[in-house]
Amino acid sequence: MRVDQAVPADAVGRRVSCGDERATVRFVGPVPPTAGLWLGVEWDNPERGKHDGSHDGVQYFTCRHPKGGSLVRPAKVSFGVDYLTAVQQVYQVNSQEVLTEGSSESVHWLAVKERSLERLPSVLLSRSDVNGPGADGEIKKTTPNVQWLDMSGTLLSGWEDVAAITRQLDQLEGLQLSNNRLCLPSDISAHCQAFCRLRVLALNNCDLTWPQILDYARMWPKLEDLCLEENNITELQRPDGVLQSLKCLNLSSNPLVQESVLSIAALPRLEKLSLSQTGLSDIRFDDAAPGSQTAMFPALTNLNLDNNNITEWCVVDELGKLSSLVHFSCRHNRLVSSDGNYKTANQMLIAKLGGLVSLNGSEIQPEDRRGAELDYIKMFGEEWLKAGGGSQPSSEFTRQHPRYLSLIDKYGAPEEGELKKPEPFALKNQLLKITFVFPDDPERKPIEKKLPSSMVVQKVKGLLYRLLKVPAADLKLTYTSLKMVGTEFEIDSDLKTIQFYSIEDGDQVLVRWS
């Protein structure tokens, strides 16, 4: 049991910890008929709470989640410690005496540690209880050379607290503030100097909206890398006058309004953009005709659209308008070729995007590109002939295959004997050899099966039930790929197909059960 501590006068709005959980204080006062003081807290994890701030019919505070609040005694929580105390706790600075090497003379270990703190290029205070700067000027004296600071999941309450720390770190270029809940400062312009050298900033899972980001961005005049995963970002607005030096932007796992994505297309230096798991199904660059280049995203070289809802090849054709795109990832979408083969779909991606150097994290070798483009010519050769052939096929064909004529210029027109006629999905060509292994049951031998790539996970679990006599609901599946040895990928939906998860011939599926 924690010893009773004084409740700060400004407790409402302050951040507190209770074990491994974090919360914001929303109420301080009595709760009749009990005696003594209570704190009303809103938990970062709403499942930790019990109610919405009301107790016995009285509304003491409000929460966004109906079960996000609790009433706790002050002795149960910590309001945290200042920066230097947190550093000393994490780096175990103490006054223990030690002996110097080759000498019997004792030295003060604290002095040794302080000298080492002065040389630290990075300070890692993730999940610590740091709540503010402490005595003015002490940070600058103690850790003056810090270039990277991690204060994710702490008890910092607002940007004023962050700025009071960072303005004492003249060399700071990278700042990790994920999993915090930071209040907007009353005067943003007053804190610009505190972040004047900042190049890299992570604000994942901070419950932020895009308008808030645009407000905060005035404090980050030189920011180049901004990570904003798992926030409440929906509709993007144009970042006029801010974020103009940004090179990398990660908006993954935000429920974006897809029509608003073009609001950030004018960022002049943006090279890397991650829109993974944002619900995107379409993107259009209407300023450019098929086969032409768009003026949007002029510097974009790297684009991640993994785990979205893209099903139409015309979206890929639109991405072909990006003038600088060389690295593209679109795993776990639903782009399917006419034969249902994911390898054919990858070939089509390579053929349609002529500037790509890598696809889905793998480098595209010259022979891979040549094979993909030649197959593309043959695959759609009959359509080209029906559309008029030559150098002026129908506008509809050009719209659907904007690179086709340039590929003919590169390799020559296909001869009739080379043309590939579209074939219906052939089950025998889609059987994948999969090895089921059982890491929690080492005595059980691996099971090898050939399964169609169109088979849904639910049926795979049904097969395993018949083999193992373990209820399908208890089975948990992951898989490992020969291309990324040592990495397990979760198979988290019973309604998706094996092909959806990009499982390939020869991969292993790991089977566990509760």
Quick one: three-class SS letters along 273-298? Answer: EECCCCCCCCCCCCCCCCCCCCCCCC
Number of Cβ within a 10 Å radius of residue 38: 18
Residue 113 host element (H or E): helix 109-119
Residue 472 resides in a domain: yes
Would residue 436 count as lying in a domain? yes
Tell me whether residue 487 is in a domain: yes
User: Which of these three, 38, 59, 76, is where a domain ends?
Assistant: 76
Q: What are phi and psi for residue 476, nearest 5 degrees? A: -125, 125
Which uninterrupted H or E stretch holds 139? helix 138-142
Q: Using H for helix, E for strand and C for coil, what is the string for 142-164?
A: HCCCCCEEECCCCCCCEHHHHHH
Tell how strand 508-513 and strand 431-437 pair up.
parallel
DSSP state of 3: P
Query: Residues 392, 393, 396, 399: what is their CA dihedral angle, to the nearest 10 degrees?
Result: -60
DSSP 422-437: P----GGGGEEEEEEE
Indicate the residue among 61, 76, 91 that finishes a domain.
Answer: 76
477 in any annotated domain: yes
Helix 404-411 to helix 366-379 angle, to the nearest 10 degrees? Answer: 110
Q: Any idea what DSSP says for residue 206?
A: S
Residue 259 in tokens: 């029509």
- How far is Cα 113 from Cα 414, in angstroms, rounded to an integer? 73
CB 188 within 8 A of CB 163: no
Q: Is residue 420 part of a domain?
A: no
What is the Cα–Cα distance from 358 to 363, expressed in whole angstroms? 4
> Tokens for 193?
């100097």
Per-10-residue mean pLDDT of the chain, 514 residues long, equals 64 91 94 94 91 94 93 93 94 47 36 67 95 93 96 96 97 97 90 95 97 96 98 96 98 97 97 98 95 96 97 96 98 87 92 97 96 94 90 91 95 76 51 92 91 89 89 91 82 86 90 90
Q: Which of 58, 76, 94 finishes a domain?
A: 76
Q: Is residue 22 part of a domain?
A: yes
CATH number of the domain to which 42 belongs: 2.30.30.190
Which residues is 58 bridged to in the sheet?
55
The per-residue pLDDT for 2 is 42
Residue 462 included in any domain = yes
**Distance between CA atoms of residues 28 and 72, nearest Å:** 10
Q: How far is CA 56 from CA 46, 71, 72, in A?
A: 20, 12, 15
Give the Cβ contact number of residue 68 at 10 Å. 23
Categorise residue 485: left if φ over 0, alpha if ψ from -120 to 50, beta otherwise.
beta
Q: Show Cβ contacts of residue 489 under 8 Å, excluding neighbours closer than 6 positions.
A: 478, 479, 480, 481, 501
> Nearest Cα to 183, choosing from 218, 221, 142, 155?
155
DSSP 305-351: --SS----HHHHHHHTT-TT--EEE-TTS----TT--HHHHHHHHHH
Q: What is the DSSP letter of 231?
A: S
Number of neighbours of residue 286 by Cβ within 10 angstroms? 10
**Domain containing residue 474:** 431-513
Looking at residue 107, its pLDDT comes to: 36
Q: Which two tokens stand for residue 113?
A: 């540690």
DSSP state of 204: T
Rounded Cα distance between 363 and 246, Å, is 26
The number of domains in the chain is 2
Token readout for 420 is: 């590939």
Is 207 within 8 Å of 179 (Cβ atoms)? no
Q: Which residues pair with 16 in a beta bridge?
A: 23
Do residues 217 and 241 touch, judged by C-beta distance below 8 A?
no
Q: Is 367 inside a domain boundary?
A: no
Beta strand pairing call for 21-29 and 15-18? antiparallel
Q: Are 253 and 277 in contact (CB under 8 A)?
A: yes
State the pLDDT at residue 100. 35
Task: Return the pLDDT at 384.
Answer: 93
Contact 146, 170 (CB under 8 A): no
CATH of residue 485's domain is 3.10.20.90
Q: Looking at residue 100, what DSSP letter applies?
A: P
Main-chain phi, psi angles of 178, to 5 degrees:
-60, 155
